[in-house]
Amino acid sequence: MSAAEQTEDQRPQGRVLTIAGSDSSGGAGIQADIKAVTALGGYAATAITAITVQNTKGVSAVHPVPSQIIAGQIDAVLSDIGADAIKTGMLATSDVIETVIKALDAHGGPLVPLVVDPVMVATSGDRLIDEDAVATVRDALLPRAALITPNAPEAEALTGGTIEDMDSQQAAAEMLLEMGARAALVKGGHLDGDVIIDVLATRNGVRLFTRPRIRTRQTHGTGCTLASAIAALMAQGAPLDRAVEDAGDYLHEAIRRAPGFGEGSGPVNHGWPLSGGA
C-alpha cells in the first residue's frame, strides 16, 4: 500500500522509510538507521542519497547517488511497502532535497509524518552538506517536518542565532516552529556541562529531557540514531513526546553500552535491546 493510500484511521505498522547517506563504518547514516529501527521493533526501508567512505576517524570521500536513483528508491518503497513514518538524514545538495520533496509529494507527502535530521557535519567534523542546501532545508524541507532534530550547531545554521544554554535552545526551537516545523527538538549534546538537556517545542508548549552526560568518545552517529529511533516509535503509534523520551533513553543506553570499536569517534551499541542482558 502506498503512502498516498493510507488513511489516519489505519493502525500503524512500524514501517519507516529512511532517506540518508551510507556510512561504510556502520555507525551512522543508513546503517545506523536500519539498526535503530530494527532494535525498536520497526521495519526499515531505505533510499540512499550518497555513499560515503568513512570510519571512526573521519570521512575521506563522498559519492553522490544520481537524483533519478534517489527518486526511484523512494517511489519503489512507497508504491509497494508503504511507510508509517519517514526520516531524512544526509541530503547534501539543494537538488537532492528538491528531488526528495517531489518524490514524497507524489505519494501523499503530509499523510506520513516526516522526521528531519538536518545532517550538516559528521561527528568527526567533516562537512556533509553544501551552503545552498542549508537554505533549502530551511525554506523547503523544514515546513514539511512533523519533527526536526537539530543539534546546537545545526539549529544555529538554520535560525541564524547563537546557542549557548537551555534558554537559547528553547528560543531556537520556538523559532523553528515559527519557520514552519510542527515540532522541533534542539539537542544539547554539543553544549558544555555534566547534564545534557534536549528541548522539545510543539504547538502545545515546551518539554525538557534531561540526562547525565556520559564522558566518552563513542558518539558516532548519535544524531542519526536518535532521529531514526523517534521515527520507529512514531511509526508504531507512539505520540510525539513519548517517542522522543523513549528514543532518548534508548540512545543513552546505547552510548553507555558502546562496544569501543575504532580509533576515533566510535559507534554506539544499537542492538542492546535485543541482547537480553544488562
Tens digits of per-residue pLDDT, 143-170?
Answer: 999 999 999 999 999 999 999 999 999 9
Domains and CATH numbers, the chain: 12-274 (3.40.1190.20)
| Position 1 pLDDT exceeds 50 | no
pLDDT at 162: 93
| Position 123 pLDDT exceeds 70 | no
Active site residue 224: yes
Grade residue 8 by pLDDT with cuts at 50, 70 and 90. Answer: very low
Grade residue 173 by pLDDT with cuts at 50, 70 and 90. Answer: very high
Active site residue 57: no
Active site residue 29: no
Percent of the chain surpassing pLDDT 70:
92
pLDDT at 257: 97
Q: Which residues contact 269 (CB under 8 A, 6 or more apart)?
A: 254, 257, 258, 259
Catalytically annotated residue among 188, 219, 248, 266: 219
* Alpha-carbon distances of 250 from 36, 159, 232, rounded to whole Å: 9, 28, 12
Higher pLDDT among residues 219 and 1, named by residue: 219
Query: At what angle are helices 222-235 and 29-39 packed, to 10 degrees?
Result: 40
Active site residue 219: yes
* pTM metric for this prediction: 0.93
